[in-house]
Chain A
Amino acid sequence: MTPVLSVRDLSVRFRMRGGRHVAAVGGVDFDLAAGECLALVGESGCGKSVLASALLGLLPGNAQTAGTAVLTGPGDGPGAGVDLLAADERTLARTVRGRRVGLVPQSPAAHLTPVRTVRAQLEEALRELTGTPRAELRAAAVAAAGRASFPAGLLDHHPHELSGGQAQRAATALALVGNAPLLLADEPTTGLDRDLVERTVDELRRHADEGRALLLITHDLAAAERIADRVAVMYAGRIVETAAADRFFGAAGPRHPYARGLLAALPERDFTPVPGMPPELGALPEGCAFAARCDRRTDACRVLPRLTDGVACHHAAPDGAAPAGVGSAGVGPAGVGSAGVGPSGTAPEDAAPADAVPDDIAAEETTRA
């Protein structure tokens, strides 16, 4: 079956003042099928949101991308998909955003237009994306709200009159209007309380079960565990491990030392942090970016490890080893498939200068001019 989204060797770097570069995303490969949920997890500043922006064509002008991200719709034959990285703005604006990729945003309060009611925004999206005739708009807006469990009684409210959970549903309703085969949820649960997190991700899961592909970008491991089929761990711009979710969170556990550390930091496990902090994306080491924080570091780590069998580490735990903090042993090889990940590629080389820097990259920048 053709995946809905097929990402190969995706890299993003930003040109900074003084000719320096910030490598935000490097050599990312993954496939995502209809009905499947892939959770992309990692610390803040690891490049997750840059990856999401790249898939929507929303990177600032000083970003340089390499690789491919092919989106194949249900009606497309093999090879007929759109490469999101190569498509021009007109194609992205008219055929991709909202129509083929729905974005569930991080901060719905900031995503919704503050001066218009939810109904007005839904009706506008319906008119633009589905061409619903004016006479049917009102009923269609109610139906669209219902698909995201947004209460019809609140349709005439402005965004500031909604609670966090209600605003999240309004934003989700907007993301679903175009019936896009790919849903991209960028930290959809930040700042919500646990009940609301569970309700929000359960609804996202329901939309995946209806046949959409769901890319869930989050730092909330509990949310990922709840709904994901597969987990991809990102560190310093690279995917360092991909695994089936039941294996990742189960007795077998992750194999990369960073992924094991991240899980062990959970309060229900060891509650001990990974020592140190992530490296600056503007000054990544030559070899493994995690080596400085890793207790398995050897000379071999001076060479960048390639993603092989779902893990990019010279000293990965063997398949089936029990992770720290779980304490179970004797688990056999999990027998997970390749998890849709190809071999890691080379660094980007092409260039296209510009000015702006996205916030989370600027956050990683030093003051040195």
Chain B
Amino acid sequence: MLELASLTAGYDRRDPVFRDVSLTIAPGEAVGLLGPSGCGKSTLARVATLLHRPDAGRVTVDGHPVRGWRHRAPRELRTAIGVVFQQPRLSADPRLRLRDLIAEPLRATGRRAEAAGRVAELAHRVGLTDDLLSRRPHEVSDGQLQRACLARALVLRPRWLVCDEMTAMLDASTTAALVAAVEEYRREHGAGLLAVGHDRVLLDRWCDRTVHWASLTGAPAPAPAAEADATAGAGV
């Protein structure tokens, strides 16, 4: 379970972006989080990926309560969660070739030896050719770079995946290709997903259930039935 309980977070303690937000994702479940721009959904995604310390509330990952954030989070928790951001240009080191970009999490966790095999496997999964892998970010399109960013998020085989507006910059075909790659990974590894976005049609098609931001605040109760997709096997 990925449990976000009664979270208050923001960038100014006196004026948090949101208060008392709760969301629970069951193992293997795909949850879409819908909301208008500026509502705080990306901040929630940052908290869920342990990249931003909330002012109040609890985050529990597979039964482990989170006590440290960013570099203070224990490695086994950090590596359990993969993240893909909206803007690939801002989330890729411009100096790294795509091959090294994808392998970076392996290097950072002392598993360099696995890099060659994992990168080849993931490149195939996200549709990157060998030629593209040897290029740097400025030499590829947004869609190609986002494919590499998704591969990077999957390289440590996370149990949880957070996609924050992963496809907002992309055309329809690339969007469908990336979502298909995420779903293939989830089928094989049973990973849970939090997909943040503003496209209801996309999230409804992609996720087991879609919750609206407005339904998360204030009430620690489950999302209203109207927001939940009946196909979800897991509880709220």
Contact = CB atoms under 8 A, between A and B. Distances in A.
Interface of A: 42-45, 163-165, 190-196, 219, 221, 261-263, 265-268, 271-274, 276-277, 359-360, 362-367
Contacts of A265: 172-173, 175-176
B200 A273 contact: no
Interface in B86-107: 86
Interface string B173-211: 111110110000000000000000011111011100000
Interface in B129-179: 129, 131, 134-136, 138-144, 168-177, 179
Interface of B: 36-38, 86, 127, 129, 131, 134-136, 138-144, 168-177, 179-180, 198-202, 204-206
A267 B127 contact: no
Binding site secondary structure of chain B: helix
Nearest to B87: A191
A164 B86 CA distance: 15
Nearest to B178: A273
A267 B173 contact: no
Given A191-B169, A193-B37, A262-B171, A271 B141 contact: no
B38 A163 contact: yes
Given A43-B173, A190-B169, A271-B179, A367 B139 contact: yes
A177 B66 CA distance: 54
B170 A44 contact: yes
Contacts of A363: 138-141
Given A42-B171, A268-B205, 18 more contacts: A43-B141, A43-B171, A44-B141, A196-B37, A221-B172, A265-B172, A266-B201, A267-B205, A271-B205, A273-B175, A273-B180, A274-B173, A277-B127, A277-B129, A360-B141, A364-B141, A366-B135, A366-B139
Given A191-B168, A192-B37, A194-B198, A273 B138 contact: no
Nearest to A165: B37
Contact of A44 (B138, B139, B143, B168): B143
B36 to A, nearest CB: 5
Contacts of B135: 366-367
Contacts of B204: 267
27 contacts: A44-B142, A44-B174, A45-B141, A163-B38, A165-B37, A193-B36, A193-B37, A194-B198, A219-B170, A219-B172, A262-B172, A265-B172, A265-B176, A266-B172, A267-B176, A267-B199, A268-B201, A271-B176, A273-B174, A276-B127, A277-B127, A277-B129, A359-B138, A360-B141, A362-B138, A366-B135, A366-B139
A195 B38 CA distance: 13
Nearest to B206: A267
A115 to B, nearest CB: 23
A261 B171 contact: no
A285 B163 CA distance: 36
B49 to A, nearest CB: 20
Given A267-B199, A277-B127, A367-B136, A164 B172 contact: no
Contact of A43 (B174, B180, B202): B174
Contacts of B168: 190-191
Contact of A273 (B38, B140, B176): B176
Contacts of B202: 267
B171 A219 contact: yes
B231 to A, nearest CB: 15
B127 to A, nearest CB: 7
A267 B171 contact: no
B36 A261 contact: no
Q: State the 8 A-B residue pairs at the shortest beta-carbon distance, nearest first.
A: A273-B177, A193-B198, A219-B171, A273-B176, A267-B205, A265-B172, A45-B141, A265-B176
Contacts of B127: 276-277
